[in-house]
Amino acid sequence: MARREKDGIWVKITASVFYPITWLSRQVIRGQERIPRTGGAILVFNHISHLDPVVDAVFVHRNKRVPRFLAKDSLFRIPVAGKIIGGAGSIPVYRGTANAADSLRDANKALREGKLICIYPEGTISKDPEGWPMRSFPGVARLALANDVPVLPVARWGTNHILNGYTKTFRPFPRKTVTIHVGEPVDLSQFRAEDPPANTTLIRVTELIMNEVKKMLAEIRGQEAPAGFFNPKKAGK
């Protein structure tokens, strides 16, 4: 039996708060055996509710890994809260740097040290009217191509039925079903020779990964996924 990845006091404190919250849902989990028990890895999630980080963190922790989410570096400078965020394993993203790759330097370091990173490439909860993944930022591609680690797509559905950030509704009862599906690692070998990767490559890799997430989400929902990705800028959102 695999041993749990070593965590710390802040992870334990966060877990004591997050675990009871997940009792609001019945969970259906598929493919969790694909999460590496050791070593660096990137889990790529769709984002549909402000409840997602809680559910996803507990899911990863139950699989004996410490979930490390990317967060704006400004959050780490908030008194007390910044200490908790950093202590619980979050990794700062330095926006506004001259070099886009520099914004992810701590994330790259974490992967080299064998840590597991959770990322929401959409940057915020989806603005797609039907909740499908929207156009995503290429940071996930930068991380994936800079580090030879497994990149696993993860689709999740149901948290939006509990907490909907756009309609401002919270409906914990009756208990909703939350489904989480972990897919096979995405093969990016054909893109790794390009150093540094061109912007077109970053966009292509990002879409490749998010298409895998979208396909699994379609399976969960029992619906056909739309072609392409919703663009909130074009929609004026």
Per-residue pLDDT at 100: 64
pLDDT digits (tens, 9 = 90+) for 133-147: 999 999 999 999 999
- Map the chain to HEC letters: CCCCCCCCHHHHHHHHHHHHHHCCEEEEEECHHHCCCCCCEEEEECCCCCCHHHHHHHHHHHCCCCCEEEEEHHHHHCCCHHHHHHHCCCEEECCCCCCHHHHHHHHHHHHHCCCEEEECCCCCCCCCCCCCCECCCCHHHHHHHHCCCCEEEEEEECHHHHEECCCCEECCCCCEEEEEEECCCCCCHHHCCCCCCCHHHHHHHHHHHHHHHHHHHHHHHCCCCCCCCECCCCCCC
Mean pLDDT along residues 51-62: 95
Domain boundaries defined on the chain:
9-221
Instruction: Please indicate whether residue 190 or residue 87 has the higher confidence score (pLDDT).
Output: 190
Per-residue pLDDT at 127: 95
The CA–CA distances, whole Å, from 63 to 80, 97, 108, 197, 208 equal: 28, 34, 22, 33, 26
Instruction: Please indicate whether residue 100 or residue 206 has the higher confidence score (pLDDT).
Output: 206
Instruction: Please indicate whether residue 149 or residue 233 has the higher confidence score (pLDDT).
Output: 149
Mean pLDDT along residues 11-22: 91
Per-residue pLDDT at 75: 77
Mean pLDDT along residues 61-88: 84
Per-residue pLDDT at 184: 98
pLDDT digits (tens, 9 = 90+) for 101-121: 778 999 999 999 999 999 999
pLDDT digits (tens, 9 = 90+) for 193-207: 888 999 999 999 999
> Quick one: pLDDT band at residue 2, thresholds 50, 70, 90?
low
Per-residue pLDDT at 79: 78
How far is Cα 128 from Cα 146, in angstroms, rounded to an integer? 30
Per-residue pLDDT at 47: 97
Per-residue pLDDT at 236: 73
Per-residue pLDDT at 98: 62
CATH number, domain 9-221, options 3.90.1150.10, 3.40.1130.10, 3.40.50.300, 3.40.50.170: 3.40.1130.10
Mean pLDDT along residues 72-88: 78
